[in-house]
Structure 1
Amino acid sequence: MKKIDTSMKRKATARQHKAEVMIAGEQLRLRLHDSKLIKDRRYHLRTYPNCFVAQELTDWLIGHKEAPDRATAVRLMQHLMEHDILHQVCDKCSVFRDAKLLYRFRKDDGTFPFNSEVKVFIRGQRLYEQLILGRSTILQVREELGVAYQRSFPGCQMIDWLLQNSEAESRRQGLELCRALLEHGIIQHVSLKHHFFDSALLYQFCINFRRRRRLAELLAESEGDAAGGEGGAERAGPRPPENFTDSPFILRKNLPQGNSNFLSVQPNKEMRVMSSVRRGSWPAQQNTPDAYLPPVPLCSTSLAKCNPKSVLRRRVSWQELLSPGAPFIKRVLTVVGDAVGWGIVVRGPSPCYIQAVDPGGPAAAAGVKVRQFVCQVNGVCVLHLHYRTVTNLIMSGPRTVVLEMMEPLD
């Protein structure tokens, strides 16, 4: 069967990010209507319906913990403007300014660009809601190559469902719809290998349309992609160095007041010191109301850089992990993040592995150990993904993370 090429994966990732921005923008629009921040406003003897004042919105974002400061709030709104979510009422300026200027959501004035890409997104969202609410849903736990996937569906069953619910007139039309959903980053093959086929191959929805988005999360993801180039699970260029510090699980060293050292196995002479940062980042608290914490240092002491050296005794491929009789034992662990993260360091191209565990953190309490390989994150197979992609998956998910691990027997 034809596999997905790298360029298609990159396009799907970009479209998926745009879909996430659209959802976040719509959630923000509804919240602003509920807060009465969007209303008819009069300016220079003319009434502008369904508008908001940029300065008032900036105050609202800071007050509702969506942004730590005004500069970040302006960048968030500029990100929405660049994705055609909102605009200045007169369209005289394409830059969001923190001033007494009127802006409006394009959905409120009928100027939102309903192109083919947006139509596919809306169609995918409607199908997702119908499948989630349906009594006899096809989204179930299924296995492929010995790995279980939550809310997955075979391609042939999806086409059957589309025909039964009058969403497609023929199998060919259903196949074309599903392929469009995959190309736009709404669904994907569970192991990111294949395009959509009318077969028993398993697929999943990439987007949880019901999860509440934090705007800063999308902005950080966008800026990370811009800084890191075309990175991801199938990186075309050389993979990033193992001592990258963009993980939400930061290695700690020499913390005062009785804090335990956060080391992989033992102190390493090759560790280099950098300025202190938090072990976790604010996405870990996204499901907790009013839990935004600015990224202030834990203390004035220094911090060890992540992963100066791999703790693995030998390299292991994902094929070896899945092979029958391999010397590994599978464990399913539930980690509930605390106020500063989950307390682990994930590294490796594929498969990812646990480089370090904070002895006093949530991961250690749940049974996570060094040298374990990460197979699934909340039911999503990550064996073929780079650690940066796995990191983003954990950070953008709920505070409670279900990890399926493979642990060496020796």
Structure 2
Amino acid sequence: MLLERRNMEKMGSIKRKVMARQHKAEVMIAGEQLRMRLHDGKLIKDRRYHLRTYPNCFLAQELIDWLISHKEVPDRDTAVQLMQHLMDNDIVHHVCDKRPIFKDAKLLYRFRKDDGTFPFNTEVKVFMRGQRLYEQLVTSRDSILQLREEKGMLYQRSFPGCQLIDWLLQNGEVESRRKGLELCRALLEHGIIQHVSLKHHFFDSGLLYQFCINFRRRRRLSELLNDSEQEEVEGVSQQSQEDHADSPFVLRKTPPVEGNSCFLSVEPSKELKVISSGRRSSLTHQQLNSSGYSSSCPLSSIPVVRCNPKSVLKRHVTCEELLAPGAPFIKRVLTVMGDALGWGFVVRGKSPCYIQAVDPGSPAATAGVKVRQFVCQVNGRSVLHLDYCTLTKLVMTGPRVVVLEVMEPVD
């Protein structure tokens, strides 16, 4: 009994450390996304103060105005709390490092990434290595991240441990299987990957693992404060995390649409449950290639099948109807300047493809991309007769700036 209690306490301690590291990772990703957006918005620039020029700085008051105007925070007090959280995590600092408190004043602050003072300790290096590997695995042509079955359960974007080590060796990421095993165990201990049922450490075997973090998701800055508060609350059950509706590896419980059997990944008669990643995370920024991040239903005794979200179209439209003279559609040409996370819209359908979803805070929304628009051309190439998978690959392998010609229904 005593041994069992000690084991439970040890596992609880490990989980708390992993959650803390995962929150640190979320802060780092959100901080980097904010830095890039501020650079794009010209809020970060060289500024002169007391006969001295400080490069790559932002003014605290201007930043708070920007956060409120972009609806990242509801008020100035929350904005100050948010920036203080970034300061406490070594993301930003006062230009002279003499002010540990972030103030809503005409004071100059700077991202540590911009002046080379970011602390690249072991934890950060492991995180950055995990992020780079994730990007390579997601974008590789024959990715090992697949829907897999283990003990009657389906796991989204999972991979056997031995296959990950094989991939690391084939791509020159490690020198030997022993080094590969060490790297994978470090990734697990730092909350980057995990065993699908959270029962095992990393082994060079057929056990299935998943990435805990969707690095491509656009983080809403308000999440950082919510995550920080949740870390302080003990007793959050693993079930509540797995059932979170916005988990990046979750498939929402949506009944399959008749006639859309091509969306099914398993036979309806096969009683398989779909299990999501245990990491709590919200999918507020839908990437163009987010068809890979299917949603999943919570644990349930009801057999479920994988399916796509219900179409936003009010009725089916053919290519001929779109191109017909006098058709009730308006042609628009939109230029979407992608950021480090992508473009911020989701396409669905086949001949023609249409916009299924748009992230309100994304480059796509800024450019005027809206749901129910039909995609006719991408960078001058006709895509009317392509399916959404092919269109997705075309955009993902193209330039950062995407020029879309769309047909918008006349309301």
Alignment TM-score, normalising by the size of structure 2: 0.60
User: Which amino acid is 2:179 matched to?
Assistant: Q
CA distance in structure 2 between the aligned counterparts of 1:146 and 1:375, rounded to whole angstroms:
7
The structure-2 alpha-carbon separation of the partners of 1:381 and 1:81, relative to structure 1 and needing over 3 Å to count, comes to closer
Corresponding position: 1:229 with 2:234: yes
The aligned runs of 1:122-201 (5 Å cut-off) are 122-201=128-207
Deviation (angstroms), 1:145:
1.4
Q: Check conservation: 1:106, 1:112, Cα contact below 8 A.
A: yes
Deviation (angstroms), 1:82:
0.6
Corresponding position: 1:380 with 2:276: yes
What SS does the corresponding residue of 1:406 show, helix, strand or coil?
coil
Partner of 2:76: 70
Partner of 2:254: 334
Deviation (angstroms), 1:207:
0.5
Matched positions, count:
270
Where structure 1 has 5 or more consecutive residues not aligned to the other structure, the ranges are 240-246, 250-282, 287-330, 336-373, 383-388
The structure-2 alpha-carbon separation of the partners of 1:381 and 1:220, relative to structure 1 and needing over 3 Å to count, comes to closer
CA distance in structure 1 between the aligned counterparts of 2:137 and 2:182, rounded to whole angstroms:
19
Where structure 2 has 5 or more consecutive residues not aligned to the other structure, the ranges are 1-6, 256-271, 287-292, 304-411
Deviation (angstroms), 1:84:
0.2
Identity %: 67
CA distance in structure 2 between the aligned counterparts of 1:153 and 1:217, rounded to whole angstroms:
29
Q: Check conservation: 1:375, 1:381, Cα contact below 8 A.
A: no
Deviation (angstroms), 1:5:
2.5
Partner of 2:33: 27
Deviation (angstroms), 1:381:
5.6
Q: Deviations over 1:210-236 (max 9, x none)?
A: 00001101211111222x1364429xx
Partner of 1:403: 297
Deviation (angstroms), 1:144:
1.2
The structure-2 alpha-carbon separation of the partners of 1:193 and 1:407, relative to structure 1 and needing over 3 Å to count, comes to closer
CA distance in structure 2 between the aligned counterparts of 1:408 and 1:42, rounded to whole angstroms:
64
User: Which amino acid is 1:406 matched to?
Assistant: S
Deviation (angstroms), 1:402:
3.1
User: Which amino acid is 2:120 matched to?
Assistant: F
CA distance in structure 2 between the aligned counterparts of 1:95 and 1:332, rounded to whole angstroms:
42
Q: Deviations over 1:348-393 (max 9, x none)?
A: xxxxxxxxxxxxxxxxxxxxxxxxxx965xx5166xxxxxx8xx45
Which of residues 108, 121, 127 in structure 1 aligns to 2:127? 121
Partner of 2:220: 214
CA distance in structure 1 between the aligned counterparts of 2:151 and 2:285, rounded to whole angstroms:
25
User: Which amino acid is 1:201 matched to?
Assistant: L
Which of residues 37, 44, 69 in structure 2 aligns to 1:38? 44
CA distance in structure 2 between the aligned counterparts of 1:380 and 1:101, rounded to whole angstroms:
44
Q: Bigger relative contact order, structure 1 or 2, given CA contacts below 8 A and separation 6+?
A: 1
Q: Check conservation: 2:185, 2:202, Cα contact below 8 A.
A: yes
Q: Check conservation: 1:88, 1:102, Cα contact below 8 A.
A: yes
Q: Deviations over 1:291-327 (max 9, x none)?
A: xxxxxxxxxxxxxxxxxxxxxxxxxxxxxxxxxxxxx
RMSD: 3.1
Deviation (angstroms), 1:7:
1.7
Which of residues 107, 128, 145 in structure 1 aligns to 2:113? 107
The aligned runs of 1:44-83 (5 Å cut-off) are 44-83=50-89
Q: Deviations over 1:258-317 (max 9, x none)?
A: xxxxxxxxxxxxxxxxxxxxxxxxx89x9xxxxxxxxxxxxxxxxxxxxxxxxxxxxxxx
Alignment TM-score, normalising by the size of structure 1: 0.60
What SS does the corresponding residue of 1:119 show, helix, strand or coil?
helix
The structure-2 alpha-carbon separation of the partners of 1:181 and 1:40, relative to structure 1 and needing over 3 Å to count, comes to same
The structure-2 alpha-carbon separation of the partners of 1:203 and 1:400, relative to structure 1 and needing over 3 Å to count, comes to closer
CA distance in structure 2 between the aligned counterparts of 1:82 and 1:51, rounded to whole angstroms:
18
The structure-2 alpha-carbon separation of the partners of 1:153 and 1:84, relative to structure 1 and needing over 3 Å to count, comes to same
Q: Check conservation: 2:220, 2:284, Cα contact below 8 A.
A: no
Q: Check conservation: 2:210, 2:277, Cα contact below 8 A.
A: no
The structure-2 alpha-carbon separation of the partners of 1:126 and 1:394, relative to structure 1 and needing over 3 Å to count, comes to closer
